[in-house]
Structures are given as C-alpha cells and as structure tokens.
Amino acid sequence: MYQRAMNRGFTLAEVLITLLIVGVIASIVIPSIIQESQNAELKAAWKKTYADLSQAFKIAAANEGGSLRGCAGNDSCFKNKFIPYMNAVKTNCDSRTLCLGNCWHNYGNWKVLNEVAPPENYFNIWAGSVLSNGVLLNIGSSDPPTPGGILAFVIADVNGFKVPNIVGKDIYGIRVFEYGSVKPLGYQGDGHQNTCATTGWGCSAQYLYQ
C-alpha cells in the first residue's frame, strides 16, 4: 500500500492549481521587472544625451570665441550653433508651428510627472531638432540672460515620440550658460530642485548623479 502511494503522480487538479499559482506570481513579478528595465534604459539614454549636449555646447562656445551671448533670445540661432555636433536628421523646426508634431509632441501629448499637461503657450518661439537616434530636442533662449548667466534651456525626449512622454520618465532638461557649460534641471540652487517626485523636472539632475 505504501509503495503504491509513493508512485502515485500528480492529479490534473493539482497540476492546474500549480500552474495557476505560477501564473499569478508571474503576472505580478514580470511587469515590474519589465518596467524597471525600461526605466533603466531611459535613464541611461538621458545620461548619454546629457553628455552629448554638454560636449556640443562646449564646442559651440569655443567656436564663438568662448561665449554664446551673440544668440541670446534667438532660439534658432542658438540651435544652429550646437546642433551640427549632435548628429541631427531634422533641423528645420524653427517655429512653434514647425516644432509641434515634427520635432516635438503636439499639445496634450506629453505631461509633467504629476499628470498636468503643459499649457499651450509653453512653446512660444522655440526651435527644435530630431537626432539620428530618435531623441527630440527643443531649445529656448533668453535675452537678457537670467541670473547666473543662463542663456537657454533645452528639453529632450530621449526615446522620441514613443510613450510615456512624461517629464522625469523620458523627458529631461538642461540649462545652458553663456560660456557653454550646462547643468541639468534640479541642480543645487535651481528652481526645480527637489521636484523629481512632483513635476519630474528635478529628475534630470537626480538621475545623473545616481
């Protein structure tokens, strides 16, 4: 009797219950793993984009005698100084009309982290470009420079028109200074510091330093 019990296999019901348990666990664990992997990829893409932007602005400033002040307030001029060093495939987005849907998302198609869509006047006269790796760039310049010598800021969607199109997920930003140096939004003393969990802009700095 004991020997026959030991040789008995699993019943169909037992197999189905086991498969059900495995399926439930997989449905919980696998999406989390996929999401973590996607987040890691987007953060890595941001770090590379930041490095490329930093290098491009340094070269652009050097070629302009050490200062980008001559393009203050002129978005297209500012873009045309550094974009040749960014391997761009689309560079003619020199107005809001040309940017939207071509070099950047249409209104309502991107959001800050707290799910509030930017206002329609967010793009006034910005200039934009699309890089060969699909990264979307938009550039806005100030005249006169803001306190601290900030001449412009650039926002980048590191995976192009693909979702999620959310600040702090795949959209990040930098400030550009007169002499070609750059800093990520959310750096020490920046107005976006400590906003990684709210608007998401502060993630630009936080993720670089992790």
Domain boundaries of the chain, sorted by first residue: 2-206
Q: What is the mean pLDDT of each run of 10 residues along the chain (210 residues)?
A: 54 78 73 74 96 96 92 90 94 87 89 80 74 94 78 94 95 94 92 91 92
pLDDT for the residue 61: 94
How do strand 150-157 and strand 136-146 relate by DSSP bridges? antiparallel
Cα separation of 155 and 68, whole Å? 18
Q: Please count the CA atoms within 13 angstroms of the CA of 200 that sit on its side-chain side.
A: 22
Q: Residue 30's pLDDT is what?
A: 64
The set of long-range contacts for 39-42, using a CB threshold of 8 Å and a minimum separation of 24, is 39/169, 42/158, 42/159, 42/169, 42/170
pLDDT number for residue 2: 46
pLDDT for the residue 1: 45
What is the pLDDT, as a whole number, of residue 168?
A: 95
Structure tokens at 163: 């979702």
CA distance 171 to 202: 11
The one-character DSSP state at 38 is H
3-state secondary structure 92-115: EECCHHHHECCCECCCCCCECCCC
